[in-house]
Structure 1
Amino acid sequence: MARNRTPRDAESTRQAVALSTLMILTFVTGVVDAVGYLALDRVFVGNMTGNIVILGMAVAGGDDLPILGPAIALAAFTVAAFAAGLFLRTRRKEWGGAVTGLLIAGAVVIAALGVAFLIPDAADSEALILTASTLTAAAMGMQAAVARSLAVADMTTVVVTSTLTSLASESLVDGGIRGFWNRRLGAIVLIFLGALAGAALLVFGPGVPLLLAALLTVVVVVIGHRRLFTPARREPVVA
Protein backbone atom coordinates (compact mmCIF):
# COMPACT_ATOMS: atom_id res chain seq x y z
CA MET A 1 0.00 0.00 0.00
CA ALA A 2 1.49 3.30 -1.07
CA ARG A 3 1.95 5.78 1.70
CA ASN A 4 0.52 9.27 1.42
CA ARG A 5 2.92 11.95 0.28
CA THR A 6 3.73 14.42 3.00
CA PRO A 7 4.33 18.15 2.43
CA ARG A 8 8.02 17.43 3.05
CA ASP A 9 8.02 14.81 0.28
CA ALA A 10 6.36 17.23 -2.10
CA GLU A 11 8.89 19.95 -1.29
CA SER A 12 11.79 17.55 -1.79
CA THR A 13 10.40 16.62 -5.19
CA ARG A 14 10.04 20.27 -6.16
CA GLN A 15 13.60 20.99 -5.13
CA ALA A 16 14.86 18.03 -7.16
CA VAL A 17 12.95 19.20 -10.24
CA ALA A 18 14.21 22.78 -9.80
CA LEU A 19 17.77 21.50 -9.49
CA SER A 20 17.37 19.40 -12.64
CA THR A 21 16.08 22.34 -14.68
CA LEU A 22 18.97 24.56 -13.63
CA MET A 23 21.43 21.77 -14.38
CA ILE A 24 20.11 21.68 -17.94
CA LEU A 25 20.42 25.47 -18.21
CA THR A 26 24.02 25.19 -17.00
CA PHE A 27 24.69 22.80 -19.89
CA VAL A 28 23.05 25.38 -22.20
CA THR A 29 25.49 28.01 -20.95
CA GLY A 30 28.41 25.82 -21.93
CA VAL A 31 26.95 25.34 -25.41
CA VAL A 32 26.36 29.02 -26.15
CA ASP A 33 29.63 30.16 -24.60
CA ALA A 34 31.50 27.76 -26.89
CA VAL A 35 29.63 29.24 -29.85
CA GLY A 36 30.30 32.78 -28.65
CA TYR A 37 34.00 32.36 -28.16
CA LEU A 38 34.75 30.17 -31.17
CA ALA A 39 32.30 31.54 -33.75
CA LEU A 40 31.25 35.01 -32.57
CA ASP A 41 34.62 36.77 -32.44
CA ARG A 42 35.77 35.54 -29.02
CA VAL A 43 32.79 36.85 -27.06
CA PHE A 44 31.57 35.10 -23.93
CA VAL A 45 27.79 35.31 -24.00
CA GLY A 46 27.19 33.70 -20.61
CA ASN A 47 30.38 34.15 -18.58
CA MET A 48 30.72 37.90 -18.17
CA THR A 49 33.93 37.51 -16.15
CA GLY A 50 35.56 36.31 -19.36
CA ASN A 51 34.40 39.40 -21.24
CA ILE A 52 35.72 41.76 -18.59
CA VAL A 53 39.11 40.03 -18.70
CA ILE A 54 39.15 40.15 -22.52
CA LEU A 55 38.27 43.85 -22.46
CA GLY A 56 41.05 44.58 -20.01
CA MET A 57 43.60 42.80 -22.17
CA ALA A 58 42.20 44.34 -25.35
CA VAL A 59 42.44 47.87 -23.99
CA ALA A 60 46.07 47.12 -23.15
CA GLY A 61 46.59 46.14 -26.78
CA GLY A 62 46.96 42.43 -26.21
CA ASP A 63 46.86 39.99 -29.13
CA ASP A 64 44.39 41.90 -31.32
CA LEU A 65 41.56 41.05 -28.93
CA PRO A 66 38.07 42.37 -29.73
CA ILE A 67 36.61 45.30 -27.81
CA LEU A 68 33.24 46.04 -29.40
CA GLY A 69 31.72 42.54 -29.16
CA PRO A 70 32.58 41.84 -25.51
CA ALA A 71 31.61 45.38 -24.47
CA ILE A 72 28.19 45.21 -26.13
CA ALA A 73 27.59 41.67 -24.83
CA LEU A 74 28.43 42.81 -21.31
CA ALA A 75 25.98 45.70 -21.60
CA ALA A 76 23.25 43.51 -23.13
CA PHE A 77 23.62 40.88 -20.41
CA THR A 78 23.40 43.52 -17.67
CA VAL A 79 20.39 45.33 -19.14
CA ALA A 80 18.52 42.08 -19.76
CA ALA A 81 19.25 40.83 -16.23
CA PHE A 82 17.99 44.15 -14.85
CA ALA A 83 14.79 44.00 -16.91
CA ALA A 84 14.22 40.38 -15.90
CA GLY A 85 14.75 41.30 -12.26
CA LEU A 86 11.94 43.84 -12.50
CA PHE A 87 9.56 41.12 -13.67
CA LEU A 88 10.72 38.64 -11.04
CA ARG A 89 11.04 40.85 -7.98
CA THR A 90 7.56 40.20 -6.55
CA ARG A 91 7.79 36.41 -6.70
CA ARG A 92 11.25 35.28 -5.66
CA LYS A 93 11.86 31.54 -5.19
CA GLU A 94 8.73 30.67 -7.18
CA TRP A 95 8.18 29.49 -10.72
CA GLY A 96 5.58 31.99 -11.89
CA GLY A 97 4.47 33.22 -15.27
CA ALA A 98 7.44 35.60 -15.47
CA VAL A 99 9.92 32.72 -15.24
CA THR A 100 8.18 30.85 -18.05
CA GLY A 101 7.89 33.99 -20.18
CA LEU A 102 11.50 35.04 -19.75
CA LEU A 103 12.90 31.61 -20.58
CA ILE A 104 10.62 31.26 -23.61
CA ALA A 105 11.70 34.69 -24.82
CA GLY A 106 15.33 33.67 -24.53
CA ALA A 107 14.69 30.40 -26.35
CA VAL A 108 12.92 32.20 -29.20
CA VAL A 109 15.80 34.64 -29.59
CA ILE A 110 18.43 31.90 -29.64
CA ALA A 111 16.36 29.76 -32.02
CA ALA A 112 15.90 32.69 -34.41
CA LEU A 113 19.64 33.29 -34.43
CA GLY A 114 20.23 29.58 -35.01
CA VAL A 115 17.94 29.66 -38.05
CA ALA A 116 19.67 32.80 -39.33
CA PHE A 117 23.02 31.02 -39.21
CA LEU A 118 21.63 28.20 -41.33
CA ILE A 119 21.39 30.62 -44.25
CA PRO A 120 24.35 30.06 -46.60
CA ASP A 121 27.29 32.43 -45.94
CA ALA A 122 25.52 33.93 -42.91
CA ALA A 123 28.30 32.85 -40.55
CA ASP A 124 30.67 35.25 -42.33
CA SER A 125 28.43 38.27 -41.82
CA GLU A 126 29.98 40.63 -39.27
CA ALA A 127 26.59 42.24 -38.65
CA LEU A 128 24.99 38.89 -37.83
CA ILE A 129 27.92 37.86 -35.65
CA LEU A 130 27.65 41.05 -33.58
CA THR A 131 23.85 40.77 -33.41
CA ALA A 132 24.09 37.14 -32.35
CA SER A 133 26.59 37.77 -29.57
CA THR A 134 24.54 40.71 -28.29
CA LEU A 135 21.14 38.97 -28.31
CA THR A 136 22.49 35.70 -26.97
CA ALA A 137 24.14 37.59 -24.09
CA ALA A 138 20.79 39.25 -23.40
CA ALA A 139 19.08 35.84 -23.35
CA MET A 140 21.70 34.55 -20.93
CA GLY A 141 21.24 37.61 -18.74
CA MET A 142 17.56 36.74 -18.42
CA GLN A 143 18.46 33.12 -17.70
CA ALA A 144 20.90 34.14 -14.97
CA ALA A 145 18.25 36.37 -13.37
CA VAL A 146 15.80 33.47 -13.40
CA ALA A 147 18.36 31.18 -11.77
CA ARG A 148 19.03 33.68 -8.99
CA SER A 149 15.32 34.19 -8.48
CA LEU A 150 14.68 30.46 -8.08
CA ALA A 151 17.55 30.40 -5.58
CA VAL A 152 18.68 26.78 -5.86
CA ALA A 153 21.89 26.52 -3.85
CA ASP A 154 25.12 26.45 -5.89
CA MET A 155 23.24 26.74 -9.19
CA THR A 156 23.79 30.07 -10.95
CA THR A 157 23.87 28.45 -14.45
CA VAL A 158 26.45 30.96 -15.74
CA VAL A 159 29.30 31.04 -13.21
CA VAL A 160 31.30 28.07 -11.94
CA THR A 161 34.29 29.79 -10.30
CA SER A 162 32.38 30.26 -7.05
CA THR A 163 30.98 26.74 -7.41
CA LEU A 164 34.48 25.31 -7.86
CA THR A 165 35.68 27.29 -4.83
CA SER A 166 32.82 25.91 -2.73
CA LEU A 167 33.53 22.39 -3.95
CA ALA A 168 37.22 22.59 -3.02
CA SER A 169 37.08 24.67 0.15
CA GLU A 170 33.86 23.32 1.66
CA SER A 171 32.74 20.00 0.17
CA LEU A 172 36.18 18.40 0.12
CA VAL A 173 37.28 19.94 3.41
CA ASP A 174 34.12 18.99 5.30
CA GLY A 175 33.28 15.67 3.66
CA GLY A 176 36.47 14.42 2.08
CA ILE A 177 36.06 12.40 -1.08
CA ARG A 178 32.44 11.65 -0.12
CA GLY A 179 31.69 15.36 -0.24
CA PHE A 180 33.05 15.55 -3.79
CA TRP A 181 30.03 13.97 -5.44
CA ASN A 182 27.37 16.64 -5.22
CA ARG A 183 25.55 19.27 -7.23
CA ARG A 184 28.61 21.52 -7.27
CA LEU A 185 30.58 18.93 -9.20
CA GLY A 186 27.54 18.34 -11.38
CA ALA A 187 27.38 22.02 -12.37
CA ILE A 188 31.07 22.08 -13.26
CA VAL A 189 30.84 18.89 -15.31
CA LEU A 190 27.72 20.03 -17.13
CA ILE A 191 29.10 23.39 -18.22
CA PHE A 192 32.21 21.52 -19.44
CA LEU A 193 30.08 19.02 -21.36
CA GLY A 194 27.99 21.86 -22.78
CA ALA A 195 31.11 23.60 -24.06
CA LEU A 196 32.34 20.30 -25.47
CA ALA A 197 29.05 19.73 -27.28
CA GLY A 198 28.90 23.32 -28.54
CA ALA A 199 32.42 23.19 -29.91
CA ALA A 200 31.87 19.77 -31.52
CA LEU A 201 28.64 20.87 -33.19
CA LEU A 202 30.29 23.93 -34.71
CA VAL A 203 31.48 21.66 -37.51
CA PHE A 204 27.89 22.05 -38.77
CA GLY A 205 27.97 25.84 -38.26
CA PRO A 206 26.82 28.03 -35.33
CA GLY A 207 23.16 27.43 -36.13
CA VAL A 208 23.09 23.81 -34.94
CA PRO A 209 24.43 24.34 -31.39
CA LEU A 210 22.28 27.45 -31.00
CA LEU A 211 19.18 25.47 -31.99
CA LEU A 212 20.19 22.77 -29.50
CA ALA A 213 20.47 25.42 -26.78
CA ALA A 214 17.03 26.77 -27.68
CA LEU A 215 15.50 23.28 -27.67
CA LEU A 216 16.95 22.45 -24.26
CA THR A 217 15.64 25.74 -22.87
CA VAL A 218 12.15 24.87 -24.13
CA VAL A 219 12.47 21.46 -22.44
CA VAL A 220 13.29 23.27 -19.18
CA VAL A 221 10.26 25.52 -19.60
CA VAL A 222 7.94 22.56 -20.18
CA ILE A 223 9.27 20.67 -17.15
CA GLY A 224 9.33 23.71 -14.90
CA HIS A 225 5.93 25.05 -15.89
CA ARG A 226 4.26 21.66 -15.44
CA ARG A 227 6.00 20.62 -12.23
CA LEU A 228 6.93 23.86 -10.47
CA PHE A 229 4.44 26.50 -11.59
CA THR A 230 2.91 28.38 -8.68
CA PRO A 231 -0.18 30.50 -9.42
CA ALA A 232 -0.08 34.06 -8.17
CA ARG A 233 -1.74 34.47 -4.80
CA ARG A 234 -4.62 36.89 -4.84
CA GLU A 235 -5.40 39.00 -1.84
CA PRO A 236 -8.96 38.46 -0.54
CA VAL A 237 -11.33 41.26 -1.42
CA VAL A 238 -12.58 43.05 1.67
CA ALA A 239 -16.17 44.19 1.34
Structure 2
Amino acid sequence: MTGFDHPERAPRLLGAVTIVLTGAAGAIDAVTFFAFNEVFASTMTGNLVLLGLDVGRGRWFQALEALIAIVGYSSGLIAGTLSAGLAMRRWPWRNAVGVALTVELALLVAVGIGYYALSDPGELTLRAVLLVLGAAVAMGIQAAAMRYVGPAGTPTNFLTGTVTNWVSAMVELHKPSWNSNSALRIGAIVVFAGIGAVVQTHLPAFSYAVPVLLVAVAIGLMARVTVLNHGGLTTGDPQFAPDGARQES
Protein backbone atom coordinates (compact mmCIF):
# COMPACT_ATOMS: atom_id res chain seq x y z
CA MET A 1 0.00 0.00 0.00
CA THR A 2 1.13 3.52 -0.72
CA GLY A 3 -1.12 5.41 1.65
CA PHE A 4 -3.74 6.74 -0.75
CA ASP A 5 -6.76 8.28 0.90
CA HIS A 6 -9.44 6.46 -1.06
CA PRO A 7 -10.52 2.80 -1.09
CA GLU A 8 -8.39 1.28 -3.82
CA ARG A 9 -8.30 -2.11 -5.52
CA ALA A 10 -5.11 -1.35 -7.45
CA PRO A 11 -2.87 0.72 -5.15
CA ARG A 12 0.36 -0.28 -6.88
CA LEU A 13 -1.02 0.63 -10.29
CA LEU A 14 -2.20 3.97 -8.96
CA GLY A 15 1.24 4.39 -7.43
CA ALA A 16 2.73 3.78 -10.89
CA VAL A 17 0.66 6.71 -12.20
CA THR A 18 2.29 9.04 -9.67
CA ILE A 19 5.78 7.72 -10.51
CA VAL A 20 5.30 8.19 -14.26
CA LEU A 21 3.91 11.70 -13.78
CA THR A 22 6.85 12.59 -11.54
CA GLY A 23 9.12 11.47 -14.36
CA ALA A 24 7.16 13.69 -16.74
CA ALA A 25 7.72 16.66 -14.42
CA GLY A 26 11.46 16.04 -14.39
CA ALA A 27 11.56 15.65 -18.16
CA ILE A 28 9.62 18.86 -18.87
CA ASP A 29 11.84 20.78 -16.45
CA ALA A 30 14.86 19.62 -18.44
CA VAL A 31 13.30 21.02 -21.62
CA THR A 32 12.46 24.45 -20.19
CA PHE A 33 15.74 24.65 -18.24
CA PHE A 34 17.76 24.52 -21.45
CA ALA A 35 15.31 26.44 -23.65
CA PHE A 36 14.50 29.37 -21.39
CA ASN A 37 17.40 30.57 -19.23
CA GLU A 38 17.22 27.77 -16.62
CA VAL A 39 13.57 28.29 -15.69
CA PHE A 40 11.46 25.31 -14.57
CA ALA A 41 7.97 24.46 -15.78
CA SER A 42 7.03 22.35 -12.76
CA THR A 43 9.39 23.08 -9.85
CA MET A 44 7.97 26.29 -8.43
CA THR A 45 10.31 26.29 -5.41
CA GLY A 46 13.23 26.75 -7.77
CA ASN A 47 11.42 29.48 -9.70
CA LEU A 48 10.49 31.37 -6.53
CA VAL A 49 14.12 31.31 -5.39
CA LEU A 50 15.26 32.47 -8.84
CA LEU A 51 12.67 35.25 -8.77
CA GLY A 52 13.93 36.49 -5.43
CA LEU A 53 17.58 36.27 -6.48
CA ASP A 54 16.95 38.13 -9.74
CA VAL A 55 14.94 40.88 -8.05
CA GLY A 56 17.61 41.23 -5.37
CA ARG A 57 20.31 41.57 -8.00
CA GLY A 58 18.27 43.95 -10.12
CA ARG A 59 18.03 41.47 -13.01
CA TRP A 60 14.51 42.44 -14.02
CA PHE A 61 14.58 40.66 -17.37
CA GLN A 62 15.50 37.32 -15.77
CA ALA A 63 12.95 37.89 -12.99
CA LEU A 64 10.25 38.21 -15.64
CA GLU A 65 11.16 34.77 -16.98
CA ALA A 66 10.65 33.11 -13.59
CA LEU A 67 7.44 35.08 -13.11
CA ILE A 68 6.06 33.78 -16.42
CA ALA A 69 6.51 30.19 -15.21
CA ILE A 70 4.93 30.94 -11.82
CA VAL A 71 1.90 32.65 -13.40
CA GLY A 72 1.50 29.78 -15.85
CA TYR A 73 1.66 27.15 -13.11
CA SER A 74 -0.85 29.05 -10.97
CA SER A 75 -3.20 29.32 -13.95
CA GLY A 76 -2.86 25.57 -14.46
CA LEU A 77 -3.77 24.93 -10.83
CA ILE A 78 -6.96 26.94 -11.30
CA ALA A 79 -7.82 25.20 -14.58
CA GLY A 80 -7.03 21.74 -13.21
CA THR A 81 -8.98 22.23 -10.00
CA LEU A 82 -12.02 23.55 -11.87
CA SER A 83 -11.95 20.86 -14.55
CA ALA A 84 -11.55 18.05 -12.02
CA GLY A 85 -14.19 19.58 -9.75
CA LEU A 86 -16.71 19.88 -12.58
CA ALA A 87 -15.98 16.32 -13.67
CA MET A 88 -16.54 15.10 -10.12
CA ARG A 89 -20.09 16.46 -10.21
CA ARG A 90 -20.85 13.62 -12.63
CA TRP A 91 -18.18 10.98 -12.11
CA PRO A 92 -16.07 9.45 -9.31
CA TRP A 93 -12.65 10.90 -8.50
CA ARG A 94 -10.68 8.41 -10.64
CA ASN A 95 -12.56 9.46 -13.76
CA ALA A 96 -12.12 13.12 -12.88
CA VAL A 97 -8.36 12.67 -12.50
CA GLY A 98 -8.29 11.01 -15.92
CA VAL A 99 -10.20 13.94 -17.42
CA ALA A 100 -7.76 16.48 -15.97
CA LEU A 101 -4.74 14.48 -17.17
CA THR A 102 -6.28 14.29 -20.65
CA VAL A 103 -6.65 18.08 -20.64
CA GLU A 104 -2.99 18.29 -19.62
CA LEU A 105 -1.91 16.02 -22.48
CA ALA A 106 -3.96 17.98 -25.04
CA LEU A 107 -2.35 21.21 -23.85
CA LEU A 108 1.16 19.73 -24.02
CA VAL A 109 0.54 18.55 -27.58
CA ALA A 110 -0.84 21.96 -28.61
CA VAL A 111 2.12 23.74 -27.02
CA GLY A 112 4.53 21.37 -28.77
CA ILE A 113 2.94 22.00 -32.15
CA GLY A 114 3.11 25.74 -31.60
CA TYR A 115 6.66 25.59 -30.32
CA TYR A 116 8.00 23.68 -33.30
CA ALA A 117 5.92 25.68 -35.78
CA LEU A 118 7.42 28.99 -34.66
CA SER A 119 10.96 29.90 -35.65
CA ASP A 120 13.95 31.93 -34.48
CA PRO A 121 14.21 31.09 -30.75
CA GLY A 122 15.81 34.12 -29.12
CA GLU A 123 16.45 35.00 -25.51
CA LEU A 124 12.84 35.92 -24.77
CA THR A 125 10.80 35.32 -27.92
CA LEU A 126 7.21 34.31 -28.42
CA ARG A 127 8.41 30.76 -29.03
CA ALA A 128 10.20 30.47 -25.70
CA VAL A 129 7.39 32.16 -23.79
CA LEU A 130 4.87 29.78 -25.36
CA LEU A 131 6.93 26.78 -24.30
CA VAL A 132 7.41 27.78 -20.68
CA LEU A 133 3.97 29.29 -20.12
CA GLY A 134 2.16 26.36 -21.75
CA ALA A 135 4.29 23.71 -20.06
CA ALA A 136 3.83 25.40 -16.67
CA VAL A 137 0.05 25.50 -17.14
CA ALA A 138 0.12 21.78 -17.97
CA MET A 139 2.15 21.00 -14.84
CA GLY A 140 -0.29 23.02 -12.75
CA ILE A 141 -3.18 20.97 -14.14
CA GLN A 142 -1.27 17.79 -13.28
CA ALA A 143 -0.62 18.93 -9.72
CA ALA A 144 -4.26 19.91 -9.22
CA ALA A 145 -5.45 16.54 -10.53
CA MET A 146 -3.16 14.56 -8.25
CA ARG A 147 -4.51 16.34 -5.17
CA TYR A 148 -7.55 14.11 -5.52
CA VAL A 149 -5.42 10.98 -5.23
CA GLY A 150 -4.45 11.93 -1.67
CA PRO A 151 -1.25 12.93 0.13
CA ALA A 152 0.72 10.00 -1.29
CA GLY A 153 0.00 11.05 -4.85
CA THR A 154 0.11 14.81 -4.51
CA PRO A 155 3.83 15.62 -4.92
CA THR A 156 4.54 14.66 -8.51
CA ASN A 157 6.41 17.88 -9.19
CA PHE A 158 7.51 19.25 -5.81
CA LEU A 159 9.61 16.68 -4.04
CA THR A 160 10.87 18.47 -0.92
CA GLY A 161 7.85 17.26 1.02
CA THR A 162 8.30 13.75 -0.35
CA VAL A 163 11.94 13.63 0.73
CA THR A 164 11.03 15.05 4.16
CA ASN A 165 8.27 12.53 4.84
CA TRP A 166 10.22 9.60 3.39
CA VAL A 167 13.39 10.14 5.41
CA SER A 168 11.57 11.13 8.61
CA ALA A 169 9.32 8.06 8.41
CA MET A 170 12.33 5.75 8.14
CA VAL A 171 13.82 6.97 11.42
CA GLU A 172 10.58 7.55 13.33
CA LEU A 173 11.13 6.19 16.84
CA HIS A 174 7.50 5.28 17.42
CA LYS A 175 6.86 3.34 14.21
CA PRO A 176 9.51 3.51 11.46
CA SER A 177 8.26 2.76 7.95
CA TRP A 178 9.50 2.54 4.38
CA ASN A 179 7.44 4.07 1.58
CA SER A 180 8.64 2.56 -1.67
CA ASN A 181 6.40 4.85 -3.74
CA SER A 182 8.15 7.92 -2.34
CA ALA A 183 11.56 6.43 -3.08
CA LEU A 184 10.53 5.62 -6.64
CA ARG A 185 9.15 9.12 -7.22
CA ILE A 186 12.36 10.68 -5.97
CA GLY A 187 14.33 8.45 -8.32
CA ALA A 188 11.95 9.11 -11.22
CA ILE A 189 12.38 12.88 -11.20
CA VAL A 190 16.19 12.52 -11.14
CA VAL A 191 16.31 9.82 -13.81
CA PHE A 192 13.95 11.50 -16.27
CA ALA A 193 15.51 14.92 -15.77
CA GLY A 194 18.78 13.22 -16.70
CA ILE A 195 17.19 11.52 -19.69
CA GLY A 196 15.77 14.86 -20.76
CA ALA A 197 19.22 16.42 -20.55
CA VAL A 198 20.76 13.62 -22.62
CA VAL A 199 18.06 13.87 -25.28
CA GLN A 200 18.35 17.67 -25.30
CA THR A 201 22.10 17.38 -25.86
CA HIS A 202 22.06 14.78 -28.62
CA LEU A 203 18.55 14.94 -30.12
CA PRO A 204 17.12 18.33 -29.11
CA ALA A 205 14.22 18.11 -31.55
CA PHE A 206 12.86 15.12 -29.61
CA SER A 207 13.36 16.34 -26.04
CA TYR A 208 9.80 17.64 -25.75
CA ALA A 209 8.41 14.25 -26.79
CA VAL A 210 9.67 12.58 -23.58
CA PRO A 211 7.27 14.29 -21.11
CA VAL A 212 4.40 14.07 -23.59
CA LEU A 213 4.83 10.31 -23.91
CA LEU A 214 5.07 9.90 -20.14
CA VAL A 215 1.81 11.77 -19.56
CA ALA A 216 0.15 9.59 -22.22
CA VAL A 217 1.40 6.47 -20.41
CA ALA A 218 0.05 7.83 -17.11
CA ILE A 219 -3.39 8.37 -18.68
CA GLY A 220 -3.39 4.76 -19.89
CA LEU A 221 -2.48 3.53 -16.40
CA MET A 222 -5.17 5.73 -14.85
CA ALA A 223 -7.74 4.31 -17.25
CA ARG A 224 -6.74 0.82 -16.12
CA VAL A 225 -7.10 1.86 -12.47
CA THR A 226 -10.61 3.12 -13.24
CA VAL A 227 -11.57 -0.15 -14.95
CA LEU A 228 -10.22 -2.27 -12.09
CA ASN A 229 -12.25 -0.23 -9.63
CA HIS A 230 -15.38 -0.48 -11.81
CA GLY A 231 -15.13 3.19 -12.69
CA GLY A 232 -16.35 4.47 -9.35
CA LEU A 233 -16.15 4.78 -5.62
CA THR A 234 -16.93 1.86 -3.35
CA THR A 235 -20.32 3.48 -2.66
CA GLY A 236 -20.96 4.12 -6.35
CA ASP A 237 -21.61 7.83 -5.80
CA PRO A 238 -19.84 10.58 -7.74
CA GLN A 239 -18.11 13.10 -5.51
CA PHE A 240 -19.14 16.76 -5.27
CA ALA A 241 -22.52 16.01 -6.85
CA PRO A 242 -25.30 18.42 -5.81
CA ASP A 243 -27.55 16.99 -3.10
CA GLY A 244 -30.54 17.02 -5.39
CA ALA A 245 -28.69 15.04 -8.05
CA ARG A 246 -27.63 12.43 -5.49
CA GLN A 247 -31.18 12.02 -4.25
CA GLU A 248 -32.49 11.68 -7.80
CA SER A 249 -29.88 8.99 -8.55
TM class, shorter-length: 0.7 to 0.9
Map of 2:214 onto structure 1:
216
Aligned residue number for residue 172 of structure 1: 171
Q: 1:33 to 1:175 in 2, by over 3 A?
A: farther
Q: Paired residue for 1:151?
A: 150
SS of the aligned residue for 1:95 comes to: helix
CA change 1:167–1:69 in 2 (3 A) is same
Q: Determine which of 40, 50, 70 is the counterpart of 1:74.
A: 70
Structure 2 counterpart of 1:160: 159
TM-score, L = length of structure 1: 0.81
1:40 aligns with 2:36: yes
Structure 2 CA distance for partners of 1:152 and 1:129, relative to 1, 3 Å: same
Aligned-residue offset at 1:21: 0.6
In the alignment, is the contact (CA less than 8 A) between 1:115 and 1:207 conserved in 2? Answer: no
Deviation at 1:203, TM superposition (A): 2.1
Segment of structure 1 superposing worse, 25-34 or 12-21: 12-21
Gaps (5+ residues) in structure 1? 1-10
State the TM-score, normalizing by the size of structure 2: 0.78
Matches within 5 A, 1:100-115: 100-115=98-113
Alpha-carbon distance, 1:210 to partner: 1.6
| Aligned residue pair count | 226
Q: Which runs of 5+ in 2 are unaligned?
A: 1-6, 239-244
Q: Which residue of 2 aligns with 1:59?
A: 55
CA shift for structure 1 position 226: 3.2
> Contact 2:147–2:153 at 8 Å: present in 1 too?
no
Query: Cα distance 1:162–1:109, how it changes in 2: closer, same or farther (>3 A)?
Result: same
**Contact 2:76/2:138 (<8 A) preserved:** yes
Identity across aligned pairs (percent)?
23
Partner of residue 83, structure 1: 79
What is the rounded CA distance, in whole Å, between the counterparts of 1:104 and 1:224 in structure 2? 10
Structure 2 residue aligned with 1:21: 17
C-alpha displacement at 1:65, in angstroms?
7.2
Question: Which range is displaced more, 19-28 or 203-212?
Answer: 203-212
Shift of 1:166: 1.3
Say whether 1:202 aligns with 2:200.
Answer: yes
Cα deviation, residue 144, structure 1:
0.3
Q: Distance in 2 between matches of 1:154 and 1:22?
A: 6
Change (3 A) 1:105 1:207: farther
